[in-house]
A and B are shown apart, each in its own frame.
Chain A
Amino acid sequence: MKVEQLANAIEARLVVSSGPANPDILRVYGGATMSDLIANAGPGTLLITSLANVQLIRVAELMDVPGICLSDGKEPDADVVALAREAGAALLVSRASRENLCARAAQCLAAEKALPQ
């Protein structure tokens, strides 16, 4: 599922669209600490967290993460937005909690998997 589709499905606002590669989102991972996120991030992972800082984008870039969704109404500042754009990672924001977003995103991905190709 493309990150834009998933943003629609979980009612998150798209702040930065994905870079030219725009790979499919295959799984979601929610975490509250950088170590947890980096250890579980990968090329098909949408990260869900309330850590709206540049360090998060760096982690996403290192791990080739295609997209990040900021939870709990956290708004990214200009630095974060610019860095996400540079890193080619999509940036989503939502007022919903991390747990709620994880559950909904996982449901969407499972539903997509169940569909006949």
Chain B
Amino acid sequence: MITLSFRIAGGDFDSAGLAARKLKEQLSKLGVDASVLRRAMIAAYEAEMNVVIHARTGTLWARVDETKLDLEVADEGPGIPDVALALQEGWSTASEQARQMGFGAGLGLPNIRRSSDHFQIETRVGRGTRIRSTILFGTGSPSAAQAPVSAIPLMVDADRCRGCRRCIFACPVGAIRARDRRPVLREHLCIGCTACIEECPDSAFDIPRAPLPVVPADALLLAPRGLLAALFGIRPPEQVLSALRELGFTEVRLLEEWEESLLAEARREAAARELPLPRIPPLCPPITAVIESRFPSLIPNLCVFHSPAEAACEEFPLRPVFLVAACPGQYGECSRSSLTERLTVVSPAALKAAIRPLLDVQPAVRLPLGVAVPHRASPQPGELAASGARSVLRVLSRAETGALGRAALLELRFCAGGCSASPLLGSQPELTDMWQTVAVTAGVTPQVPAGVAARAMPFAQRPGLRLDAAMGEAIRKLSRIDGETRSLPGRDCGSCGAPSCAAFAEDVVMGRAARADCPFTENHR
């Protein structure tokens, strides 16, 4: 999938249409079919003009994958008091200036709707409007070029590694190999969890650690609760919250708020019993990734919503947002999302480094930021919560074989104890609980309540585990891997650099390793 984004300035008729034109250039490069392009241009142009005519500012996003084009235009503007009326042909509130230029015919929204296979409009009076339009490529038409899936932002610092090989066994999906005593990531297998980060005694694994950039005015900090606990590990909460304000943040929101909203939505789905049970809300990006690659039969069980971090980012499309990522998966997912322009994803370490000097000076006046702490709804019967890689994988394989009986909802988190226990945060879950009591006394009601965001893209199987694009060839490779595995000693010793003999056999067949790397073969080098 590829995401493109374009800014739109309200009231700027001279530049009106430029976002659509830039989009056209990009879509043409991707090889989008002419009829799709035509419909996309009508929808994009009309949506762009709506921003120019009615709003202060807005953004156009386009997401393309092999099957469809998703357009989304969000603006900060007056909103639409009566959507049904606005969708009627001929109804318009455009200014006289706009009408003289040929706009305001009241055909904009109807045109977008007609050009779309799926059309959705959300609006809040006084805040803004968001329009989503999906155009399916249909069968037979040449689809967009294959967009590369971004790699997981897991950094390996080979210089720190002392070659203990713990990581190759710690990785729950066998995505790490040791080559010349150094870890090498099989990126197509990595699900972005924190297992290797946690296991490594030399801190050789990390997410990108760019220093915190300058925080613009009115910036919002989105963070897992454990981050604050980690910061409070050093200083009293008021001091840390004042320092965050000094850094330039005007609001701090905890991602747990969106987790709760997503769980509530998943409970509704589970209660409705219309979709395959158990429902699995995409709370944790590595869980979603492991389902998409290892347990594809459970994809229909995933609730088709954005992850809490993505949903939170979507809630503030036009505000500068800083997200503190708790794992490589979350870092990758949010950096890839369409909101990159206004969104800065930072590592917990970068925020800690930025805040530390501020904690040492004593400001004349302390003005701590308030933080709302979400209320945790109590689990319902039929809900199963599991965390930690081993438990989660066991639960998923049981769910796959139907051995979970009447479970209605699975609340799964890859880090044992949830995001707050991520090794990147460096805090202890007990401290998180202490922090909760502190924050509840702060008593803040956020202006924008945490909601859920439906995914435009359905979840889909990841090609990571596919041995070959052609089914026949994949089958042949599989039988060769099988034969190769049987010829190996089966000790799973890791000497070859792979976590198991089966993984090594696959590497050999796929041409990623030489048979001679196994010390138990005759020609061992």
Residues of A with Cβ closer than 8 Å to B?
Answer: 32-39, 42-43, 49, 51, 53-56, 58-59, 61-63
Contact = CB atoms under 8 A, between A and B. Distances in A.
Interface stretch (B15-23, B158-166, B273-281): B15-23
Contacts of B49: 34
Given A38-B42, A62-B45, A55 B111 contact: no
B147 interface: no
B21 A62 contact: yes
A71 to B, nearest CB: 13
A58 B44 CA distance: 13
Given A55-B13, A62-B24, 6 more contacts: A38-B41, A55-B101, A55-B103, A56-B102, A61-B21, A62-B21
B107 A33 contact: yes
A23 to B, nearest CB: 13
B108 interface: yes
Contact of A53 (B18, B46, B101): B101
A52 to B, nearest CB: 10
A115 to B, nearest CB: 28
Query: What interface size band does chain B fall in?
Result: 20 to 34
Contacts of A62: 17, 20-21, 24, 41, 45
Interface in B30-47: 34, 38, 41-42, 45-46
B390 interface: no
B21 A59 contact: no
B107 A55 contact: no
Contacts of A36: 105, 107
Given A55-B17, A59-B17, A59-B45, A33 B24 contact: no
Contacts of B20: 58, 62
Interface centre among A37, A43, A63 (most CB of B within 10 A): A63
A51 B38 contact: no
Contact of B45 (A33, A38, A42, A53): A38
B282 to A, nearest CB: 36
A63 B38 contact: yes
Contacts, number: 64
A55 B41 contact: no
B96 interface: no
Nearest to B107: A35
A61 B24 CA distance: 10
Interface of B: 13-14, 16-18, 20-21, 24, 34, 38, 41-42, 45-46, 49, 101-108, 111, 114
Contact of A33 (B14, B21, B103, B114): B103
A38 B46 contact: yes
The majority secondary structure among interface residues of chain B is helix
A32 B46 CA distance: 16
Contacts of A59: 17, 45
The majority secondary structure among interface residues of chain A is helix
A68 B16 CA distance: 19
B111 A39 contact: yes
A42 B34 CA distance: 10
A51 B114 contact: no
Contact of B101 (A34, A38, A39): A34
B21 A38 contact: no
Nearest to A49: B102
Given A55-B17, A62-B21, A35 B101 contact: no
A82 B16 CA distance: 17
A56 B13 CA distance: 11
B105 A35 contact: yes
A41 to B, nearest CB: 9
Given A32-B102, A35-B107, A55 B21 contact: no
Closest 7 A/B residue pairs (Cβ): A35-B107, A58-B17, A33-B105, A51-B102, A34-B102, A62-B41, A35-B105
B163 to A, nearest CB: 58
21 contacts: A32-B102, A33-B102, A33-B103, A33-B107, A34-B105, A35-B107, A36-B105, A38-B42, A39-B42, A39-B107, A39-B114, A42-B38, A53-B101, A55-B103, A58-B16, A58-B17, A58-B21, A58-B45, A62-B17, A62-B41, A62-B45
Contacts of A42: 38
Contacts of B104: 33
B16 A53 contact: no
Nearest to A79: B14
Nearest to A51: B102
A43 B34 CA distance: 10
A35 B111 contact: yes
Contacts of A38: 41-42, 45-46, 111
Interface centre among B101, B102, B103 (most CB of A within 10 A): B102
B380 to A, nearest CB: 49
Interface centre among B46, B101, B104 (most CB of A within 10 A): B101
Interface centre among A35, A38, A58, A63 (most CB of B within 10 A): A35
Contacts of B41: 38, 62-63
